[in-house]
Each structure stands twice: as C-alpha cells, then as structure tokens.
Amino acid sequence: MAEAVESPGDPGTTTPRPLFAGLSDISISQDIPVEGEITIPVRSRIREFDSSTLNESVQNTIMRDLKAVGKKFMHVLYPRKSNTLLRDWDLWGPLILCVTLALMLQRGSVDSEKDGGPQFAEVFVIVWFGAVTITLNSKLLGGNISFFQSLCVLGYCILPLTMALLVCRLVLLAEPGPINFMVRLFVVIIMFAWSIVASTAFLADSQPPNRKALAVYPVFLFYFVISWMILTFTPQ
Amino acid sequence: MAAPDELAFHEFEEAANLLAQTPNETTTRSDQLSPKGHVAVAMDSGASYGAEDEVEENDKTVLLQEEKQQPGFWTFGYYQSFFDVDTSQVLDRIKGSLLPRPGHNFVRHHLRNRPDLYGPFWICATLAFVLAITGNLTLVLAQRRDPSIHYSPQFHKVTVASVTIYCYTWLVPLALWGFLRWRKGVRERMGVYTFLETVCVYGYSLFVFIPTVVLWLIPVPWLQWLFGALALALSAAGLVFTLWPVVREDTRLAAGVLLSVVVLLHALLAMGCKFYFFQPLPPEPMASPHQATSQPAATGLPPTLPRSVAA
C-alpha cells in the first residue's frame, strides 16, 4: 500500500509494478465470480457433518456416543497424562456408572426403614452432590478447571470401584467367612487406590502447586466413602 | 560516608539523617524491630500487650481493606476469598488447635484475622463420615462376639451424624457471635470476633475428635472414657483460651456463664456422639466347655442387646 501511494510521483523510474494497480478497473459483479459456495474447506466439512447427523440412523448416533464413552473408560483404566477426559467431557459415563452403582447397592424393600444399606436415592445423592462439592472446592481454591470437566473426571473415575462392586457381588455368592472378607477387602483397596491415582492424574495439574493436597483430600474422602459402601454391602 | 544530599529519596529525610550520622545504625534498628515484634506476639496476655496488638491489627486490617475491593456476596470471588489458604497454613491451624496454650489466642496467632472456610467444612465432613463408619465397625465387632446380633450397614447414621455436626459448627457460633455482639453493645471495651472467625475456631477445635473417634474402636470402656475426656479437655481448652481475651472485659457473671455454656455444649456433643454411635459391646462368649453351666446366666444379657443396637 505504501508503494501504491508513493509511485504516482515517479513516472520515469523503473519502479516495479505497484500492488493493486488495476484494481479500480475491475467491476466486482462482472469480473470476479461470486456465485457458488465460498467456503473454507474445514468449515464446509463441519457443516456437512452437522447436517448429516440429523439424517443418520439412530444406531450410528448411539454407537458414536458409546464409543466416546468407551474410549474414556479406557483412559481411566490406563491413566496416562492425557487431556481426553478434559477436552471432550461428557456426563454419560458418570450417569451410567452412578445408576449401576446405586442399583446394585440399594437394599431390598423387605428390610425395615432404619437398618440396611443405602437407598437408591442416597447413593445417587452422595455421588452427585459429592462430585459437585469437590468441584466447587477445587474452583474456590483457585483451580482452573471448568465445572463440568471436573464432574466428568470424578464420575469416570468411579469405574474401578464399580468393577470392585461386581467382583464383590460374585465373591459373595460363595460361602461367607474370613477368606471371603479378605478377598473383598483386597479387591476394594486395590480399586480405591486405582481410582485415586486415575483422578489425581487428571485433576492435579489444574491446581496451584501449594494447594494440591487441599484439593486432593476431598477426592480421597469421596472415594473412601464409596469404597466403604461397597465393602459393607451385604445382599439380603 | 554518603552525605545526606547524595541520597536520592528526599522524602525520607529522617532516614537520611540517621544514615549520615551513624551508617551502621539502620541495620541494627531493623534487627531490633523484628525480635521486638516476635516478643510482642509470644508474651503472655497482659493489658498493654492486648492494646498494642489491637492497634497493630486495626492498622493492618484497615490497610488491607483499602487495598482490595470487597466483591459483592453474589459473586464467586466473594466466596473465593474464604478459601485463600495454602496447605501449610491449614496444617498449621490444625496443629494450633490440637495444642492449645494459655497465651496463644487461636484467632490472633493462627488465623491472623484471615479465617477460612475450608478447614471447618472438611473437618466436619470427615468427622461425620468417620463417626458413621466407626459406629458401623463397632457393630461388626459386636456381631463377631455375639452372632445373634443382626448386622446391617445402618446408612441412616451418616445422615444423623452429618446433620448434627454441621448444625453444631454453624448454629452455635452464630449464637455465640450474636451474644458477643450484644454484649459489645452493652460494654464498649469488649473485643469482638467476626462470624467467620468464630466458625473457624469451632471447626478447627473439632479436629481432635477425629482420631479420638477412631480410637473409640478399642473395646475397653475405661480407655474410651479416658480418650473422650482427653479430647474434650483439649478441645474445650482451645475454645476457652480463644474466648477469654474477648470475654475478660465483661462482668464476671456474664463471662463465667458464657464460658461454662460453651464447654457444656461441647461436652454434650461429645457424649451424645459416644452414646448414639457406640453401643457397649456384649460380654465375651464363654469359650471353654466346662463353663457350659454358667452359660444360662450369661445369656440373660445378650437378648436385650439386639433391641438396643437396632434402635
């Protein structure tokens, strides 16, 4: 642009052809074809993607979501420092796990009101309100993780404990005794440690360094309470 | 040495004059200042110390309030200011509550007028869950001795424990704060704590009960009472030492009544927890076969226990 301003004063010199020299001679509507799709390749792909999810079969939709959930389960089972859970968070996995946990832990209706294990609603409330409280706590302490990302991580990391519950249920089919209890205790402890390691791998980086222990302790308490509920589960 | 004119900061004329007169004096003065400050903090509470400290604290808090704008209570930043603590600070406050000393006021020495909500909230949550879990464990231990007791997870105790502990830690400080404010209206010279500082004191004072509750698993009755009394003494001492400098200005009657009510409520909490969550264990079952004749005497007791345990 500087060249175009300065050059009209020098007709004799061999200046290079200035920028945008013939621009004023072009008429927009006739010489430059503006019809048709003016799209950047990436954007057009996204637009096609959006429109086609309406037309695809239900099976495709469900399988895509299930695959995303399954991928995140794998990331929890083999915790590496990765951003997958944080970047594409979703709450399907936590919901599935929480409902499974609550369905299996609830006491039968035969029992009296006061005694017995938790009701479905109690487990549900403990898991979701516990996760919300821990998220609020980490945000108040100055962590830079979003609300739903934290809920997603905490919910997905219940997976090892759900597996422990399944194992405990199977073990309880055998005869009761101290060996039975020892096996269950061992399984629950291992899975509890696995949950803590998995969630810390995802959450620890988002906290300021001198407050990491303050943010991790409530996670420890949360999984400890869930492990306790699993360990003391007795089928009626 | 440097003449006063060569020093760039003309505002600090006094310092410049001092520097000109005795070049080494500034260093010793700063050294004198810091130990004096420390000595002022560690001294036993006397009237002069209290006044100096209050003046210092007032200056500091005025400066701090001028520096930072208080956000409104509907913003997130307002609540974030209550969680502005580091791990080391929380651990230091817990240590301070475990070892109360007569001269050390918890609010001044450990909180330094920066109360936090992290400690009280999570200590209460931990205590509630530990109470429910250990209460459940005593039932397991009781069932091993006497198989006729029906074991069940007793999940409702978690609800009871958490409601009790949280109400105690938030409602009693509210009442105490209201009472202190009212007394301050009556007698001008009384100091006052903010609501959050009172909640902090109560919350941190409950920390000593967490290991005590775990130790209550040991099924020896006199040991349980000993641990309970020890924990209650430490906790109540912390509360009394914190409240004494504030209540000292009031009439003796009011001060005595307030302190005894505080200690009484604390004792009621401790005993209520012990009786509700920890039932006495059944006696040891007779192992040897010769004492089969004495079995009928012993079986008089256990049938009454399942009813009380399931209650």
Q: CB-hemisphere CA count at 13 Å for A145?
A: 30
Task: State the average pLDDT over residues A81-92.
Answer: 78
Residue type, B158: V
Which chain A residues have a beta carbon less than 8 Å from that of B137?
none
> Does B82 contact A118 at a Cβ distance shorter than 8 Å?
no
Q: Between chain A and chain B, how many beta carbons pairs sit less than 8 Å apart? A: 64
Domain membership of residue B252 (yes or no) is yes
Contacts of B24 (CB under 8 A, 6+ apart): none
Best-predicted range by mean pLDDT (A185-189, B8-12, B86-90): A185-189
Which pair of structure tokens corresponds to residue A117?
């294990």
pLDDT of residue A111: 55
> Hey, is B163 helix, strand or coil?
helix
Left, alpha or beta for B256 (phi > 0: left; psi -120 to 50: alpha)?
Answer: alpha
**Polymer length of chain B:** 311
Of residues A219, A164, A162, the one with CA closest to residue A189 = A164
Domain membership of residue B11 (yes or no) is no
Residue B70 in contact with residue B78, Cβ under 8 Å?
yes
Beta-carbon count within 10 A of A22 CB? 7
Listed range (A67-71, B247-251, B269-273) with the worst mean pLDDT: B247-251
pLDDT of residue B210: 93
Query: Closest chain A residue to B83 measured between Cα atoms?
Result: A141
How does the average pLDDT of chain B come out, rounded? 73
Listed range (A165-174, A206-215, B144-153, B204-213) with the worst mean pLDDT: B144-153
ipTM metric: 0.71
Percent of chain A with pLDDT over 70: 72
Task: State the average pLDDT over residues A210-229.
Answer: 91
pLDDT at residue B123 is higher than 90: yes
- Going B8 to B14 to B18 to B23, the CA torsion angle's sign is negative
> Does A213 contact B155 at a Cβ distance shorter than 8 Å?
no
The range of the structural domain enclosing residue B181 comes to 87-278
The more confident residue out of A18 and B81 is: B81
Percent of chain B with pLDDT over 70: 66
Domain membership of residue A174 (yes or no) is yes
Task: State the average pLDDT over residues B197-223.
Answer: 89
pLDDT at residue B25 is higher than 90: no
Question: In angstroms, how far is the first alpha carbon of chain B from the final one?
Answer: 86
The more confident residue out of A81 and B3 is: A81
Domain membership of residue B105 (yes or no) is yes
The pTM (predicted TM-score) of the whole model is 0.70
Of residues A102, A68, A64, A70, the one with CA closest to residue A88 = A68
Which chain B residues have a beta carbon less than 8 Å from that of A114?
154, 156, 310
pLDDT of residue A128: 92
d(CA A32, CA A16): 25
pLDDT of residue A46: 52
pLDDT at residue B240 is higher than 80: yes
Which chain A residues have a beta carbon less than 8 Å from that of B88?
210
Beta-carbon count within 10 A of B277 CB? 22
pLDDT at residue A131 is higher than 70: yes
pLDDT digits (tens, 9 = 90+) for B214-224: 998 888 888 98
Q: CB-hemisphere CA count at 13 Å for A156?
A: 34
pLDDT at residue B298 is higher than 50: no
pLDDT of residue A158: 93
pLDDT of residue A37: 62
d(CA B263, CA A57): 69
Residue A94 in contact with residue A157, Cβ under 8 Å?
no
The distance of B36 to chain A (nearest Cα, Å) reads 30
Residue type, B25: E
Task: State the average pLDDT over residues A196-224.
Answer: 88
d(CA B207, CA B94): 7
Residue A158 in contact with residue A127, Cβ under 8 Å?
yes
A126, A133, A210, A214: which to substitute to probe chain B, counting the most B Cβ within 10 Å? A214
Best-predicted range by mean pLDDT (A172-176, A186-190, B46-50, B199-203): A186-190
Domain membership of residue A122 (yes or no) is yes
Residue type, B131: L
Minimum-distance CB partner of A232 among B85, B122, B153? B153
- Going B286 to B292 to B298 to B300, the CA torsion angle's sign is positive
CA A191 to chain centre: 20
The range of the structural domain enclosing residue A121 comes to 89-105+116-230
Name the phi and psi angles at A79, rounded to 5: -70, 115
Q: B252-277 vs B118-145: helix axis angle to the nearest 10?
A: 40
pLDDT at residue B28 is higher than 70: no
Element (H, E) at A202: helix A178-203
CA distances from A69 to A59, A153, A192, B52, B160 (A): 15, 12, 21, 63, 37
The distance of B252 to chain A (nearest Cα, Å) reads 42
Name the phi and psi angles at B278, rounded to 5: -120, 105
Residue B100 in contact with residue B245, Cβ under 8 Å?
no
Give the residue numbers in A contacting B (CB under 8 Å), as ranges: 111, 114-119, 122, 137, 139-142, 210-214, 217-218, 221, 224-225, 228-229, 232-234
Q: How many domains does chain A have?
A: 1
> C-alpha angle B214/A115/A163, rounded to 5°?
75
Which chain A residues have a beta carbon less than 8 Å from that of B157?
none
Q: What confidence category does residue B307 fall into, taking pLDDT thresholds of 50, 70 and 90? A: very low
Minimum-distance CB partner of B87 among A119, A214, A234? A214
Minimum-distance CB partner of A221 among B129, B151, B310? B129
The more confident residue out of B30 and B85 is: B85
pLDDT of residue B4: 53
> Does B155 contact A141 at a Cβ distance shorter than 8 Å?
no
Contacts of A65 (CB under 8 A, 6+ apart): A90, A92
Beta-carbon count within 10 A of A216 CB? 19
pLDDT at residue B118 is higher than 50: yes
pLDDT digits (tens, 9 = 90+) for B74-94: 888 888 888 888 888 888 888
Q: What confidence category does residue B127 fall into, taking pLDDT thresholds of 50, 70 and 90? A: very high
Residue B158 in contact with residue B128, Cβ under 8 Å?
yes
Which pair of structure tokens corresponds to residue B273?
């927890």
Residue B216 in contact with residue B278, Cβ under 8 Å?
yes
pLDDT of residue B273: 87
Name the phi and psi angles at B19, rounded to 5: -65, -40
Domain membership of residue A5 (yes or no) is no
Task: State the average pLDDT over residues A94-112.
Answer: 80
Which chain A residues have a beta carbon less than 8 Å from that of B86?
210-211, 214
Task: State the average pLDDT over residues B113-129.
Answer: 89
Q: What confidence category does residue A134 fall into, taking pLDDT thresholds of 50, 70 and 90? A: very high
pLDDT of residue B227: 92
Of residues B256, B230, B229, the one with CA closest to residue B243 = B256
pLDDT of residue A7: 43
Q: What confidence category does residue B95 fall into, taking pLDDT thresholds of 50, 70 and 90? A: confident
Task: State the average pLDDT over residues B18-47.
Answer: 44
> C-alpha angle B303/B304/B305, rounded to 5°?
95
> Does B133 contact A218 at a Cβ distance shorter than 8 Å?
no
Domain membership of residue B23 (yes or no) is no
The distance of A75 to chain B (nearest Cα, Å) reads 29
Give the residue numbers in B contacting A (CB under 8 Å), as ranges: 76, 79-80, 82-83, 85-88, 90, 118, 122, 125-126, 129, 133, 136, 150-156, 310
Q: Within chain A, what is the greatest distance between any pair of CA atoms?
A: 106
Task: State the average pLDDT over residues B137-159.
Answer: 79
Contacts of A12 (CB under 8 A, 6+ apart): none
pLDDT of residue B72: 76
Domain membership of residue A198 (yes or no) is yes
Listed range (A222-226, B35-39, B204-208) with the worst mean pLDDT: B35-39
Residue A131 in contact with residue A105, Cβ under 8 Å?
no
pLDDT at residue B294 is higher than 50: no
Domain membership of residue B97 (yes or no) is yes
A134, A232, A236: which to substitute to probe chain B, counting the most B Cβ within 10 Å? A232
